[in-house]
A and B are shown apart, each in its own frame.
Chain A
Amino acid sequence: MNATSPLPPPPAWEDLVTAALLGTDRRTPPGAAPGRAAPAALLDAAAAETVRRRVGLRPGRAAPRPTPAAEDPRPALPVAAARRLAFLLADRPGTGAGGRRGTAPDLMELLPQWLTAVNARGFAAPAESLPALLDAARGRTDLRPAALEFAGPRALWLARLNPDWRFALRAAPGGGASLPGPTETERTRTLWQEGLFAERVALLASIRRQDPDAARALLSATWSTERAEDRLMFLDSLRAGLGPRDEPFLEQALTDRSRNVRATAAELLSALPGSALAARMAVRAGACVAVDHTGDTPTLLVEAPHECDAAMERDGVSAKAPPGRGERSWWFGQLMEAAPLATWRARLGGRTPEQIVALPVADDWLGELHAAWCRAAVRQRDADWSRALLGVPSAPGAGGPGAVSLAERAKLLGTLPAAERADWVAGFIAAHGLSEAFQLLGVCPVPWATPLGRSVVDALNIARDAGSYPWSFSGVMGLAERCLDPEEATHLDALLAVPDEPEDASPGAGGYWAEAFQRLGRTLRLRATMTQELQAPQQHRPA
């Protein structure tokens, strides 16, 4: 602050510092006699000068004030909810002792759903909580969209002042305040032509959300001048809002210089069942599969393609098989995946998807064929085919044709309506227990529907009685804490006691299970409280 004094510093002070630095033996201080008394005289003068300088301090010149942050029109968070936010944010990973979790809820894991709930109600974040909120979002990318939506315009304003929070500017939600809308033609064009790659991707995605045709027009105007990697990313953003009117552009992209761009264009076209590419693929695929009526039961016969011609390659079929796979089955899989599922009914004797999936397949082609249909059902978001391929959840083959992995099944479930998804997984858990259920639970809507929640709790109970340790199920337990309906807390009370230990149980498992169930119950109650706090009207605050 010394430097901010409007008066120039008295020269005497500089002389005193110089004398002190060199020593009075070498430099006699100003206004003192050399010799033994010189140091004391220097200190006397310096003391007087120090106090004089401090007394004379004045404020400095103000730097240009920052532009005020944009107003946040949303209503303020209720007091109790604001306090809850402070707790949730205080529970940061790495701040605690770590180790075993005990019976206390894992607060940080509840932050995502708290943010979702608060955003659904449209409350504004308390200003003083923004730094902690931004720090939390910085550490966890999965939190960013919800955290930034809640944090609002002031967080973006802060992020411009603190380099630690730059990510907020890149990841501005909903296209962000700074992105122009589709009607702002001039700004859009400038940003599209001059912006950084990340800004251009964000712009394209934002416009695609609001006006798919305008986004495609924007892209096709500069298409031929873009670099191959950029073309791939831009093409990928057409996935959102894909429609028949995109076909001419995509058809043109099938002749692109880059193989990856061609493949992506073909994939997008095959997701449009009415496209010319889909029709071409239907013809090719139809030639490979037929019903054989010569035996006792009708059987599917597969005749894989003998070559991958130029037309197939142009339509996105990759000619070179990965190591260890036969070329013909590789081409066959790609054809089946890209052919519209709706055409099979007519080609295979008017059978429903269920009937088609139930047909025996000759010569070990079943796995290959059904796996390709699974990929097609996911790509074309075809619920009927997904349902048929998933089968009955309680089937001993774990509800799906042989080769269908859990990940594929989770994807198939994703095409079903939410309620049906939860029912299917509930049936699956009832029949097969929890050990395979984690991925499937991940696609179920939160909070879990009652039958699903009950079957998870029942299965946990069975696992406990079987005498294993709860941490074998820590993944499902964590999901249950976050996803079970808080109403279910009352059904857990019977599970909280430490049971008698059966002979063959793992030592001490009963106590750990009781602890895990207590934490589950506590977390559910906490979630119920958190929801109430958001609904509560403004609490009375003492004046």
Chain B
Amino acid sequence: MTQQGVRWTADQVLALAPDSTSRKAGSKLGTAGPWSGTGSSREGAVWGLCEGSGGAPYRTVVDTAAGAAPAYRCSCPSRKFPCKHALGLLLLWSGGEAALPVGRAPDWAEQWIAGRRRTAEKGEAGPAGSGSGPADPEGARRRAERRAERITSGATELEERLADLLRSGLATAEQSGYALWEETAARMVDAQAPGLASRVRELGAVAGSGADWPARLLEECALLHLLDQGWLHRERLPDALAATVRARVGLPSSATGPPVRDHWLVLAQYDTPDPKLTTRRIWLYGTASGLTALLLSYGAAGRAPELTLPVGLALDAELSAHPGAGGQRASLGEQFAPPVLTGTRPPGVTTTEATARYGEILRHDPWLESVPVTLDDVVPTPDGDSWQLADAEGATALPLTPAAVSRPGLWRLVALSGGAPVRVFGECGHRGFTPLTAWPTGAGEAVRLC
């Protein structure tokens, strides 16, 4: 592999930053000024010494060869990960060959790189070594059974609470506020059903929110009831649907599908921060298979999730699907080469095809909020206080979700379009369309909207 092929753009580097403060601090260090002793290896490691406020310069080294999950090491005391020095070094690297001449790593960097490579090889040599099965299959089976029993009692309790609510009327929910839902959610956490708990918590936000809240609350209650019933009768469901129910209730799932090797385009990457946990969602599109897959990665508060695939890269790798009828989630398997920049765009569909695709997939997973879709030839169009994506040919349009209308990405999309058709990747669901990435008509790189 050549270094030129894996070099990222500055935008992609900045996407690694755990928060906006780090992004800013890192971009200030992305100039040659504070750096000395910088260099890079043909294998994709970069290193350098960065002057800080203290006496000795910080030693920063980044291994980009791992592609999707670059590894960082810096002697600075920051708890941010990656720290601003690692970001600055990567920015320097993204700027071009001149700043980081190819050479031999100094000892302090070489030791770490070598140590990392050894660990990585060990990991690849024995994938079954650490993570295969538990040592005690009988104990594991008993633990799983106990958990299933607790979930069952939780689901049963939830059914009773929903029935009570419907008996006295949703109007009472508006008065009782969040407290009722928080308490029920805590019960579901006790029952080891985090999927049920988070759905219950969301119910609390629906009551009294906007004009049609009774209809939306009834929808969500009904779907929660459907999930309870699915769990309670899971042995009578088809295998795929049962797997979906298990995943939605909150049981961990692992990738069991056959590995699919493809050139996967990175269509979008975005984080949903939570005080405790940051969830990163990465959408990939297989250029040969035509499949769209979702990778999830998690990071504790203050740390960026480990998996990083900036938009605009393509990845020669194997993905394995998780079980479940929706069939979106996958895990990243072996990568055959580091990610490369690409100008390839995913093919797009019309707005009518997009809604049809959502309807189709609901037959397999009725709880699905949205599906990933690329719309081709759509014009961002103002519609009262809201916006829609209108087919350039034809009279139909998809409204944007209220959340998407209030995000700054909307204006990047509108600016990119300038009233002309664009191609837009996003999530299409019952609340509308959430644009995530857009491509201009004619030449031009993908523009992140999230």
Q: Are B166 and A66 in contact (CB under 8 A)?
A: no
CB within 8 Å of B: which of A29-76?
A: 38-40, 42-44, 46-47, 49-51, 54-69
Q: How far is the CA of A104 from the CA of B33 in the complex (A)?
A: 8
A61-B27 in contact given A20-B169, A23-B169, A103-B51 (Cβ < 8 Å): no
| Contacts between the two chains (Cβ within 8 Å), count | 224
| Contact of B135 with A by CB under 8 A | no
| Contact of B412 with A by CB under 8 A | yes
CB within 8 Å of B: which of A509-543?
A: 518, 521-522, 525-526, 529, 541-543
CB distance from A445 to the nearest CB of B (A): 26
Q: Are B381 and A24 in contact (CB under 8 A)?
A: no
Instruction: Give every chain A residue within 8 A of B172 (Cβ-Cβ).
Output: 23
Partner of B415, one of A2, A55, A59, A158: A158
Partner of A59, one of B159, B340, B343, B398: B398
Q: Are B430 and A57 in contact (CB under 8 A)?
A: yes
A63-B383 in contact given A51-B362, A127-B440 (Cβ < 8 Å): yes
CB within 8 Å of A: which of B158-175?
A: 159, 162-172
Instruction: Give every chain A residue within 8 A of B394 (Cβ-Cβ).
Output: 62
Q: Are A128 and B418 in contact (CB under 8 A)?
A: no
| Contact of B28 with A by CB under 8 A | yes
Q: Are A63 and B397 in contact (CB under 8 A)?
A: yes
Tell me which of B37-45, B217-225, B271-279, B301-309 binds A: B217-225
A54-B33 in contact given A4-B399, A91-B28 (Cβ < 8 Å): no
Partner of A542, one of B32, B171, B341, B390: B341
Closest to B388 in A: A63
Instruction: Give every chain B residue within 8 A of A219 (Cβ-Cβ).
Output: none
Partner of A21, one of B171, B343, B391: B171
Closest to A9 in B: B215
CB within 8 Å of A: which of B342-386?
A: 342-343, 351-352, 354-355, 358-359, 362-363, 366, 379, 381-384
Tell me which of A82-90, A248-256, A321-329, A478-486 binds B: A82-90
Q: Are B408 and A60 in contact (CB under 8 A)?
A: no
0 or 1 for each of A453-497: is its CB under 8 Å from B? (1 = yes) = 000000000000000000000000000000000000000000000
Instruction: Give every chain A residue within 8 A of B167 (Cβ-Cβ).
Output: 23-25, 38-39
| Contact of A1 with B by CB under 8 A | yes
Interface size on A, residues (CB 8 A): 73
| Contact of A434 with B by CB under 8 A | no
Q: Are B24 and A95 in contact (CB under 8 A)?
A: yes
| Contact of A161 with B by CB under 8 A | yes
Q: How far is the CA of A59 from the CA of B349 in the complex (A)?
A: 13
Q: Are B53 and A102 in contact (CB under 8 A)?
A: yes
Q: Are A83 and B225 in contact (CB under 8 A)?
A: no
Q: Are A65 and B379 in contact (CB under 8 A)?
A: yes
Instruction: Give every chain A residue within 8 A of B412 (Cβ-Cβ).
Output: 128, 131
Partner of B20, one of A51, A95, A162, A525: A95
Q: How far is the CA of A59 from the CA of B167 in the complex (A)?
A: 36
Instruction: Give every chain B residue within 8 A of A128 (Cβ-Cβ).
Output: 412, 415-416, 447
A62-B396 in contact given A42-B166, A57-B358 (Cβ < 8 Å): yes
Q: How far is the CA of A185 from the CA of B235 in the complex (A)?
A: 83
Q: Are A86 and B11 in contact (CB under 8 A)?
A: yes
Instruction: Give every chain B residue within 8 A of A39 (Cβ-Cβ).
Output: 162-167
Partner of B381, one of A16, A25, A63, A154: A63
Q: How far is the CA of A165 from the CA of B363 in the complex (A)?
A: 45
| Contact of B214 with A by CB under 8 A | yes
A46-B218 in contact given A1-B399, A60-B399 (Cβ < 8 Å): yes
Closest to A158 in B: B415
Q: Are A154 and B379 in contact (CB under 8 A)?
A: no
| Contact of B82 with A by CB under 8 A | no
Q: How far is the CA of A526 from the CA of B95 in the complex (A)?
A: 13
| Contact of A157 with B by CB under 8 A | yes
Q: Are B362 and A55 in contact (CB under 8 A)?
A: yes
Q: Are B419 and A69 in contact (CB under 8 A)?
A: yes
| Contact of A283 with B by CB under 8 A | no
| Contact of A96 with B by CB under 8 A | yes
Closest to B408 in A: A131
Q: How far is the CA of A23 from the CA of B163 in the complex (A)?
A: 10
CB distance from B390 to the nearest CB of A (A): 4
A63-B430 in contact given A42-B166, A96-B21 (Cβ < 8 Å): no
- Top 4 nearest A-B pairs (CB, nearest first) are A23-B169, A68-B419, A46-B222, A39-B166
B: residues with CB less than 8 A from A are 4-5, 9-11, 14, 20-21, 23-25, 27-34, 51, 53, 95, 159, 162-172, 212, 214-215, 217-219, 221-223, 225-226, 340-343, 351-352, 354-355, 358-359, 362-363, 366, 379, 381-384, 388, 390-391, 394-399, 408, 411-412, 414-416, 418-420, 430-432, 440, 447
19 additional contacts (CB under 8 A) given A20-B217, A66-B379 = A1-B431, A2-B212, A2-B430, A20-B218, A43-B222, A43-B225, A54-B359, A54-B430, A61-B397, A63-B390, A65-B390, A68-B419, A87-B27, A90-B14, A95-B24, A97-B21, A127-B416, A157-B419, A162-B411
Q: List 20 A-B contacts (CB under 8 A).
A: A1-B432, A17-B218, A20-B217, A22-B171, A44-B225, A47-B366, A50-B223, A54-B358, A54-B362, A59-B355, A60-B396, A63-B388, A63-B397, A69-B418, A95-B20, A128-B412, A157-B419, A522-B34, A525-B33, A542-B340
